[in-house]
């Protein structure tokens, strides 16, 4: 009996943006292709580097907390300097697509899906344990190559937050300011800002004195049957 001829699967139809495109698009990726073909997402980060799509899940709770608190504090200082601050937005650098944790831009991203890296005054990364090389070595090098004037790094190693600001000088980032938890991080450029890095992590609220006395038996009223009650 003759064997049925092989019928290849029909090529997927391009319609609405979908992550299914990752299965059949076998050409090098660019930032423009990713923004056109992949859906917007509040879930994993979707970046493009050297022709490849890089998908990473959200980082841990410490990272998310530090990112939100730092963005809130920095945004107020940036606006006073007539700059715009965003967190986790699309930044296009040639064919690459970056989503830095913090982006300070010269102009508003109002109505835009992505902004060119030439608009970036400062880009910042919060170091994640699983992406330490990327945040400490790769991204600063890529941002420097694109000419971003300042780079900010927050390191949460061992839950002892530390911050460092770098300025682009002769194509390389040079340290400009740094501080660890318990001291004050102060920067003057590209705008004035200060914070104790320890404030970027949630900690349990201390037990109030009144609560401690109750927990430790601090209520000194005599107990029936005790010597003091006689």
Task: Render the burial of 165-199: b for 16+ CB within 10 Å, e for the rest.
Answer: bbbbeeeebeebbbbebeeebebeebbebebebbe
> What tens-digit pLDDT sequence spans the chain (230 residues)?
444 454 444 444 556 777 788 778 878 999 999 999 888 877 788 899 999 999 888 888 999 999 999 999 999 999 999 999 999 999 999 999 999 999 999 999 999 999 999 999 999 999 987 778 888 999 999 999 999 999 999 999 999 999 999 999 999 999 999 999 999 999 999 999 999 999 999 875 544 555 444 444 444 444 444 444 44
Return the H-helix or E-strand segment holding 152.
strand 150-155
Q: How far is CA 180 from CA 29, 118, 176, in A?
A: 39, 30, 14
Alpha helix positions (H), 120-225: 132-133, 139-145, 209-215
The DSSP code for 137 is I
Structure tokens, 5:
């001829």
The DSSP code for 217 is T
């Amino acid at each position: 009996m003759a064997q049925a001829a092989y019928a290849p699967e029909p090529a997927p139809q391009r319609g609405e943006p979908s992550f299914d495109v990752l299965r059949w698009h076998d050409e090098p990726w660019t930032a423009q292709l990713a923004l056109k073909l992949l859906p917007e997402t509040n879930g994993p980060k979707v970046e493009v580097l050297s022709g490849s799509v890089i998908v990473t899940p959200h980082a841990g709770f410490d990272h998310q907390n530090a990112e939100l608190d730092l963005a809130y504090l920095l945004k107020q200082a940036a606006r006073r300097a007539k700059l715009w601050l965003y967190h986790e937005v699309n930044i296009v650098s040639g064919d690459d697509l970056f989503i830095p944790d913090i982006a300070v831009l010269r102009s508003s991203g109002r109505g835009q899906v992505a902004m060119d890296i030439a608009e970036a005054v400062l880009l910042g990364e919060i170091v994640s344990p699983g992406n330490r090389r990327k945040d400490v070595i790769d991204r600063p090098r890529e941002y420097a190559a694109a000419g971003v004037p300042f780079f900010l790094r927050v390191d949460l190693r061992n839950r002892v937050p530390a911050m460092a600001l770098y300025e682009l000088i002769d194509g390389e980032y040079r340290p400009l300011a740094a501080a660890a938890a318990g001291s004050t991080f102060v920067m003057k450029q590209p705008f004035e800002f200060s914070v104790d890095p320890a404030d970027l992590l949630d900690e349990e609220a201390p037990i109030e004195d009144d609560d401690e006395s109750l927990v430790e038996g601090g209520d000194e009223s005599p107990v029936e049957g005790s010597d003091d009650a006689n």
